[in-house]
Amino acid sequence: MASIQLTRILWSRKLSTNIALSSRKCCRFRRTRQLDFGPLLKRNFQNRKLTAIRSEKSGNEGSISSAIEGEENSDVISSPEKPGLMLGIDRDDSGSVIGLNLIPGDNEAIDTEVVSTVTKVKDEEIKKEKIETRVTYNIVFVTAEAAPYSKTGGLGDVCGSLPIELASRGHRVMVVSPRYLNGTSADENFARVFDANRRIKLQCFGGEQEIAFFHEYRDGVDWVFVDHPSYHRPGNPYGDSHGAFGDNQFRYTLLCHAACEAPLVLPLGGYTYGEKCLFLVNDWHAGLVSVLLAAKYRPFGVYKDARSILVIHNLAHQGVEPAATFKNLGLPSNWYGALEWVFPTWARTHALDTGEAVNILKGAIVTSDRILTVSKGYAWEITTVEGGYGLNQLLSSRRSVLTGITNGIHIAEWDPSSDEHIAFHYSAASLSGKVVQCKTALQQELGFPIKPDCPLIGFIGRLDYQKGIDLIHWAIPELMEDDVQFVMLGSGDPLYEDWMRSAENTYRDKFRGWVGFSVPISHRITAGCDILLMPSRFEPCGLNQLYAMRYGTVPVVHATGGLRDTVENFNPYAGEGRGEGTGWTFSPLTKDCMLNALKTAIRTYRDHKSTWEGLMRRCMQKDFTWENAAIQYEQVFEWAFIDPPYIM
């Protein structure tokens, strides 16, 4: 009997046939609906051959061709090794072939396991297909700091962690930051960074400024560092013990110009990022990037498909300098209005002062395609008179492109079950490592009496007005009357540093002030304390309360910005008496309000142990990962490309 051997049938959505004719007749196949038998046939016929056999009723020698061409009777495709399972040809009323189906032979039933396998494999393929077709972007972070290379606060944490998470989700990510060298051990952070052998000259500040690029590829991210002598000096990225550097406008103007050139001139991994980039410009230090794209590049057809998103971490710092410095920024003269800033009369230095200035952050707000803040609460606060620092009306006018996304935390670094900086590990399922061992170890390290039932309160942060240090200062005498222990870690205002040293001498068994900053110590304080106090006047997001909750340390915070978003006020009567919430929030920002919240937390700790344990577990179960934040960032990326870029 003449036969046609089908040696291969479509494995993914297309029916392909490799037909070897034992007879020399041609088969003609009419295009039909695409079918998905691939996974089934892979599973059941990997070592077998399917044979298309001629219907005995038709009597024609042409095998399945006659059926496809409109013969009365259907043919079937069967396995010669197992004739019980065959593929039948289905046709519509006109006789056209519309598909194939499995039919049993010799009265055998089709294996239901096979059918379920087909469905399962098909669902998995559809899911995989959705992942593979997700939009990815060439993302360029521009920032003054990025941990672990440089860090003074939350900005460094965000720009050190979020790029890695976005890269893990399939995006190509570059971070552009200065190469700070200050002659200390911090220089070791750049030990693995290599010269990219690319030097360019930038036009700004009245002439050509030559910069070099350094590069390290780590955790899927291109870490690019702009090198210039102005970044090589003692101190932190912004200043030293004498205050802010006087040439910061120059230093960060260089950063912005270099960041705009980096995607065009650096062949990282063999090819450049190109013009279709998404720039994430962080705070005023990077704000000039958005203005340069609109003023210097797009008018000449460069970066016409790029977008810029401004991320505001702290609106209080805006990059304001005298109006005469505009000519140094490398912008066309007709763009002065985008950066123009006039101080109110009461803020001027003398009677002849016109108050005219340039405000780089204002220019970024005007020219960026989207605006982000680091929490939903802060996105609202910056549109108010109290929180807008003079930019509230401008930000309100751009409310339609303003979004708040709460920061995440680096869960590999901040994990009480594996933290290398703490003496004992623990988890929400087993808290003994915290309430006994970590607390005792911290009390020993600080020289406190070992008192397991004494509430241990901690503060970690800068010693300045924003963080509410003055409230702690005035509240300590009253708080120290109670049986509590208090530890503070931070540096900043010399007056508060001196006060911490003095308070330590006054309350020897109850107060410790650690002047400076230490990552290991901050981890041990977070793990060993029962309560974390954060009385910030404003807090765009805040990270310490997120670290504290992950470590089961209950936060007491001022209800502002990201603190209000992330700390749920404790309600002992909710949840059928089990309680709800993850800490205490207080408002208004006064000493008495703060003390009342603290004393409520202390009483709960002492008198309601089971309730306190529930608080700790709820804190530890909160999900503040960067993965959640990255998903929200991707949505904003999509929105940024819907509308055309900013062009004046």
Helix residue spans in 468-518 (DSSP H): 469-479, 494-506
Region 275-296: what's the mean pLDDT?
97
Region 51-72: what's the mean pLDDT?
42
**Taking 50 as the threshold, does the pLDDT of residue 16 lie above it?**
no
The whole-number pLDDT of residue 105 equals 52
The whole-number pLDDT of residue 87 equals 55
**Taking 90 as the threshold, does the pLDDT of residue 22 lie above it?**
no
In Å, what is the CA distance from 160 to each residue of 117, 151, 189, 194? 44, 9, 13, 18
**Taking 90 as the threshold, does the pLDDT of residue 115 lie above it?**
no
Region 188-199: what's the mean pLDDT?
95
Q: Per DSSP, what are the bridge partners of residue 87?
A: 77, 102
Region 367-384: what's the mean pLDDT?
96
The whole-number pLDDT of residue 97 equals 53
The whole-number pLDDT of residue 130 equals 43
Q: Are 266 and 272 in contact (CB under 8 A)?
A: yes
Helix residue spans in 391-463 (DSSP H): 392-397, 432, 439-446
The whole-number pLDDT of residue 91 equals 59
Region 520-541: what's the mean pLDDT?
96
User: 13 or 135, which is more confident?
Assistant: 135
Q: Which residues, at least 6 apart from 271, have a Cβ–Cβ distance to it below 8 Å? A: none
Domains 138-317+368-408+633-642 and 411-622 share a fold: yes
DSSP 334: G
Separation between Cα atoms, residue 551 and residue 393, nearest integer Å: 40
The whole-number pLDDT of residue 15 equals 36
Q: Per DSSP, what are the bridge partners of residue 571?
A: 580
pLDDT > 90 fraction of the chain, expressed in percent and rounded: 68
User: 53 or 164, which is more confident?
Assistant: 164
The whole-number pLDDT of residue 1 equals 41
Q: Domain spanning 411-622 has what CATH number?
A: 3.40.50.2000
The whole-number pLDDT of residue 6 equals 37
Q: Predicted confidence band at 515 (pLDDT cuts at 50, 70, 90)?
A: very high
The whole-number pLDDT of residue 52 equals 43
Q: Are 143 and 174 in contact (CB under 8 A)?
A: no
Region 558-585: what's the mean pLDDT?
89
- CATH number of 138-317+368-408+633-642, picked from 3.40.50.1010, 3.40.109.10, 3.40.50.1980, 3.40.50.2000: 3.40.50.2000
**Taking 70 as the threshold, does the pLDDT of residue 86 lie above it?**
no
Region 185-204: what's the mean pLDDT?
94
Q: Are 234 and 240 in contact (CB under 8 A)?
A: yes
Separation between Cα atoms, residue 544 and residue 235, nearest integer Å: 24
The whole-number pLDDT of residue 89 equals 59
The whole-number pLDDT of residue 251 equals 98
The whole-number pLDDT of residue 425 equals 94
Range with the poorest average pLDDT among 166-175, 224-233, 408-417, 521-530 = 408-417
In tens, the pLDDT along 479-509 reads 999 999 999 999 889 999 999 999 999 999 9
In Å, what is the CA distance from 324 to each residue of 303, 321, 355? 29, 8, 12
pTM above 0.75, yes or no: yes
The whole-number pLDDT of residue 95 equals 58
Mean pLDDT of the chain: 84
Q: Domain ranges for the chain, please list them.
A: 138-317+368-408+633-642, 411-622
The whole-number pLDDT of residue 100 equals 57
The whole-number pLDDT of residue 401 equals 96
Range with the poorest average pLDDT among 491-505, 536-550, 576-590 = 576-590
Separation between Cα atoms, residue 163 and residue 178, nearest integer Å: 16
Listing DSSP states for 550-586 in one string gives HTTPEEEEES-HHHHHH-PBPBTTTTTTT-B-SBEEE
**Taking 50 as the threshold, does the pLDDT of residue 50 lie above it?**
no
The whole-number pLDDT of residue 154 equals 87
**Taking 50 as the threshold, does the pLDDT of residue 315 lie above it?**
yes
Q: Predicted confidence band at 110 (pLDDT cuts at 50, 70, 90)?
A: very low
The whole-number pLDDT of residue 120 equals 54
In Å, what is the CA distance from 646 to each residue of 139, 295, 351, 396, 408? 18, 10, 38, 18, 29
Rama region for 167: left / alpha / beta (φ>0; ψ in -120 to 50; rest): alpha
- Token representation of residue 446: 């600080």
Q: Predicted confidence band at 4 (pLDDT cuts at 50, 70, 90)?
A: very low
Region 454-469: what's the mean pLDDT?
94
**Taking 90 as the threshold, does the pLDDT of residue 564 lie above it?**
yes
